[in-house]
Amino acid sequence: MRCKEVDQATAGLIQNLKQRGLLDETLVIWGGEFGRTPMAQVVSANGDPTGAGRDHHKESFSLLLAGGGTQPGLTFGATDDFGFGVTENRVHVHDWHATWMNMLGVDHERLTYKYQGLDA
C-alpha cells in the first residue's frame, strides 16, 4: 500500500548518493521483514480475530542492493505468481550474509563458530 512512497524515497537516496559520488563506496541494502501473502486470512472457527490479517511466509521475499560494487539492473531469483515459493535461484540466508559481508570487506568465515556440531 505504501510502495509508491517507499520506492520514491529509496530512489531518492540512491540518486542522491550517486550525484554526490558516494554510491560506489556505499552499499545500500533494502528489504522488509519477510514475505507476506497477497490474500487475507479468515477469522478462526471460534470467532477469534487474532488469526485475521495477512500471513507471513518465510520461503521468499525481495531485497534490493545498490552501489558498493553491485551490478546495476541485475535480478537474481524468482518466485511463483503468489510469491509463496522460490522457482529459480534459491539463496540461503548464510549465502546472503556472506555476499554482503564480502562486499563490505568482511571475511564471513572469521565470524563462524562451531555450535552444537554446526557452523553457525
Q: Which amino acid does the sequence have at 102?
A: N
Q: What is the pLDDT of residue 43?
A: 58
User: Cell numbers of 80, please?
Assistant: 511463483
The answer to whether residue 46 is domain-embedded is no
Residues 77 and 98 in one domain: no
Q: Indicate if 24 and 64 belong to the same structural domain.
A: yes
22 inside domain: yes
pLDDT in tens, the chain (120 residues): 567 888 899 999 999 999 999 999 999 999 876 666 666 666 556 655 555 566 677 788 888 999 998 998 999 999 888 777 889 999 988 899 999 999 999 999 888 877 777 665
Task: Give the structural domain span for 7.
Answer: 1-38+51-89
Q: What's residue 4's pLDDT?
A: 81
CA distance 117 to 80: 35
Is this prediction's pTM over 0.85? no
**Is the residue at 65 inside a domain?**
yes
58 in the same domain as 105: no
User: Does one domain contain both 34 and 60?
Assistant: yes
- 45 is a domain residue: no
